[in-house]
Amino acid sequence: MNEGRIQKVKDWLKEKGHAFAFIHTTANVFYLSGLFTDPHERVLGVFVLPEGEPFMICPGMERTQAKAAGWTYDIVGYSDSEDPWDKVQEKLDMQGVVIASSFAVEKESLPYARGEKLQHMFHDANIVAAEEYLNELRLIKEESELETLKEAAKLADYGVEVGVAALHEGVTEMEVLAKIEYELKKKGISQMSFSTMVLFGEKAGQPHGKPGLRKLQHGDLVLFDLGVVLDGYCSDITRTVAFGDLDEKRREIYETVLQAQLKALEASKPGTRIGDLDVIARNHITEAGYGDYFPHRIGHGLGIDVHEFPSMSDNNDGVLREGMTYTIEPGIYIDDLGGVRIEDDVVVTADGYETLTKYPKNLQIIK
Ligand code: MN
Ligand code: MN
């Protein structure tokens, strides 16, 4: 549980005059309560009130887990045969929340039917977006969060190291992928940040290609994109290596992506307009003649969610601040030829940046 974060939400509710906030996403429940869980279709969430104590609505069977995660406030449990919303209403009544002119929920993801349940309790209330404040709060990472992100990034580096060591002629993408995840599981990782990507040759020419039974051949580019979830925090790394000697064209693509990535990294410091990182990398790639082959933004915020705020797109007018964490991941993808993407996890420091992922980036030719 994080008392400081709960207090900030309470202060926000007070300032805005909202009667309560209902926080239900795995990421934000974890951020406030320490409980990291997927309740599937069951209702689980934290109610924060401007005055008085917050409480958690939680399937009875998860109660022990919530306490073990450090939640010391009240837990309203319910069994599978009970209606959690009856319990919520009872508890809100007890807390004195009987009328509300407005309340906050995570609008982007709260199921409509659950919004209706709350609306029925408070007919005339406006429902506002809790994300507005929570996204802002999560934007700047605390020291303890950075420590965890660094450890998660180290494990991502290790995943690439395992993958590169597993390359030999004829091995399939899935064999290499399985080896990476097996070695990470042995280190205690139960969950990857997203489906691991190992792509050979022309398969690397798709930004979101699907690993399969493609066999490794000499002259292939090999793209790894992977990350782990460690204590609730994600990492996300991409490296591209060459298997056997590369032709001129593929070398040129590699060098272009690498220089674009380094330029965007160099611009990472407090005060830089966020969108400029995309612009800087894109200009470099466009000048080299590959502008049409870089079809996605330069990166995304990184933390409890593998994609979170800030969005690192060219139209983001926000500015970088110390403690922000995000990825820088330019790429060039050409059908048949293959693709190159290089991705690091970055934290903005007082006067610049630090990369959390550290696996080498000079063109590596595996013989
Ligand atoms: Mn990414
Ligand atoms: Mn990635």
Q: What are phi and psi of 163, to 5 degrees?
A: -65, -45
d(CA 250, CA 353): 29
Q: Which ligand is nearest to the CA of 195?
A: 2
Query: What are the start-end ranges of the H helices in the chain?
Result: 3-16, 26-33, 63-68, 84-94, 112-121, 131-139, 143-165, 173-186, 248-266, 274-287
Q: How far is the CA of 328 from the centre of ligand 2 (A)?
A: 9
Q: How far is the CA of 306 from the centre of ligand 1 (A)?
A: 7
Q: How far is the CA of 77 from the centre of ligand 2 (A)?
A: 38
Each residue's pLDDT tens digit, 260-284? 999 999 999 999 999 999 999 999 9
State the DSSP H helix or E strand holding residue 309, giving kind and residue range, or none if neither: strand 308-312
- Match 């029925």 to its residue by tokens: 120
d(CA 49, CA 53): 7
Q: How far is the CA of 295 from the centre of ligand 2 (A)?
A: 15
Tell me the CA distances in angstroms from 94 to 3, 34, 49, 53, 91, one per residue in order: 22, 25, 12, 12, 5
pLDDT at 321: 98
d(CA 313, CA 68): 39
Q: Which ligand is nearest to the CA of 192?
A: 2
d(CA 221, CA 124): 59
Tell me the β-bridge partners of 223: 199, 240
**CB 57, CB 45: distance < 8 Å:** yes
* Section 334-357 average pLDDT: 97
Share of the chain above pLDDT 70, in %: 100
Q: How far is the CA of 333 from the centre of ligand 1 (A)?
A: 16
Q: How far is the CA of 225 from the centre of ligand 2 (A)?
A: 5
Average pLDDT in the chain: 97
* Section 303-311 average pLDDT: 96
pTM exceeds cut of 0.85: yes
Each residue's pLDDT tens digit, 213-230? 999 999 999 999 999 999
pLDDT at 208: 87
Q: How far is the CA of 76 from the centre of ligand 1 (A)?
A: 37
pLDDT at 1: 77
d(CA 235, CA 283): 27
**CB 301, CB 309: distance < 8 Å:** yes
Q: How far is the CA of 224 from the centre of ligand 2 (A)?
A: 8
Each residue's pLDDT tens digit, 201-212? 999 999 989 999
pLDDT at 107: 97
Q: How far is the CA of 329 from the centre of ligand 1 (A)?
A: 7
Each residue's pLDDT tens digit, 96-144? 999 999 999 999 999 999 999 999 999 999 999 999 899 999 999 999 9
d(CA 15, CA 30): 24
Q: Which ligand is nearest to the CA of 311?
A: 1
Q: How far is the CA of 25 from the centre of ligand 2 (A)?
A: 22
Q: How far is the CA of 121 from the centre of ligand 1 (A)?
A: 41
Q: How far is the CA of 98 from the centre of ligand 2 (A)?
A: 46
Q: How far is the CA of 361 from the centre of ligand 1 (A)?
A: 16
Looking at domain 140-366, its CATH class is alpha beta
Q: Which ligand is nearest to the CA of 237?
A: 2
Q: How far is the CA of 238 from the centre of ligand 2 (A)?
A: 5
pLDDT at 287: 98
Each residue's pLDDT tens digit, 79-92? 999 999 999 999 99
Looking at domain 3-138, its CATH class is alpha beta
* Domain ranges (residues) in the chain: 3-138, 140-366
**CB 320, CB 269: distance < 8 Å:** yes
Q: How confident is the model at residue 16 (pLDDT cuts 50, 70, 90)?
A: very high
pLDDT at 65: 95
Q: How far is the CA of 117 from the centre of ligand 1 (A)?
A: 36
